[in-house]
């Protein structure tokens, strides 16, 4: 069976959005078929009916090409609509997994609680940190339960996580939000270069939702952090519709490294949605 994963594009300019290729490589590693979804779509149900789960990638929004706040709000709203559809689907006994990486986790948080203002952090460039589970993470996380014990111990003992983010959410701010605490456990926490603690991994208490505030796509050594998410997708009983209106990308390996401050080697650029 072919499992189809939707992946939201990231705003670039008025006509284009993009996905960094490293995210595609990660999902291809697990033999998932990629289905790009425009960040500014209004056809949420159309896309939802054609995928087994959703991946919200990292990226830099706009960087001066377009008005970034407006683009960010559209992306957050799209995340919100997919989360609502996923909850409805789960309540109808059809789980729909959602994963967010870095910017993707931030979008999930702000989609769930619109009153959250993310905290400024100094966790870049390529700031390496160890895997640091919380007590509730060790007790309740499927990610941790599905990890090899030797790998878990190794990750906890040495810097393995690649961080490149200037924002995040502190545990205290997270715990003040009933919307967030009702949905998620805090699985891991870390400290930025200034000693400020932030949430680095969250996992749904009931729903198969995951968010990570670092970059597992940048190293094959950390690909297995997605095993629970991938298992959720491959255990899916969701029947999907076929689609002939797939947006085709153009590949760029010149603009992307500069645009992403060297974080990514190449990007797939998408023009506006055909629907």
Confidence label for 231 from pLDDT (cuts 50, 70 and 90)? very high
pTM: 0.93
For the domain covering 4-271, report its CATH number: 3.40.50.880
Q: pLDDT tens for residues 67-107?
A: 555 777 899 999 999 999 999 999 999 999 999 999 999 99
Q: Where do we find the tokens 């993707």?
A: 104
Q: pLDDT tens for residues 241-264?
A: 876 666 667 776 667 776 666 777
Q: Given a cut of 70, is residue 272 above it in pLDDT?
A: no
Contacts of 234-241 with C-beta under 8 Å, sequence gap 24+, read: 234/3, 235/95, 236/3, 236/52, 236/53, 236/94, 236/95, 236/96, 236/97, 237/94, 238/52, 238/89, 238/94, 238/95, 238/96, 240/4, 240/49, 240/50, 240/51, 240/52, 241/49, 241/50
């Amino acid at each position: 069976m072919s499992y189809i994963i939707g992946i939201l594009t990231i705003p670039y300019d008025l006509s284009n959005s993009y996905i960094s290729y490293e995210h595609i490589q990660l999902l291809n590693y697990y033999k998932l078929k990629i289905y790009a979804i425009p960040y500014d779509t209004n056809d949420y149900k159309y896309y939802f009916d054609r995928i087994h789960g959703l991946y919200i990638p990292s990226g830099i929004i706009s960087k001066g090409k377009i008005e970034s706040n407006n683009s960010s709000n559209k992306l957050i709203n799209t995340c919100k609509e997919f989360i609502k559809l996923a909850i409805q689907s789960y309540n109808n006994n059809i789980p729909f997994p959602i994963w967010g990486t870095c910017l993707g986790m931030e979008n999930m948080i702000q989609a769930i609680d619109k009153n959250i203002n993310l905290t400024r952090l100094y966790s870049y460039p390529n700031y390496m940190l160890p895997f640091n589970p919380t007590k509730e993470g060790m007790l309740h996380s499927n990610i941790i339960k599905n990890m090899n014990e030797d790998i878990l111990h190794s990750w906890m003992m040495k810097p393995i996580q690649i961080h490149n983010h200037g924002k995040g959410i502190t545990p205290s701010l997270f715990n003040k939000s009933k919307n967030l605490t009702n949905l998620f456990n805090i699985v891991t926490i870390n400290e930025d270069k200034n000693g400020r603690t932030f949430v680095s991994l969250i996992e749904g208490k009931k729903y198969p939702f995951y968010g990570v505030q670092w970059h597992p796509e940048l190293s094959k050594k950390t690909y297995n952090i997605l095993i629970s998410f991938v298992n959720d997708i491959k255990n899916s009983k969701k029947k999907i519709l076929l689609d002939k209106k797939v947006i085709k990308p153009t590949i760029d390996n010149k603009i992307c490294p500069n645009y992403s401050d060297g974080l990514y080697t190449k990007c797939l650029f998408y023009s506006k949605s055909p629907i």
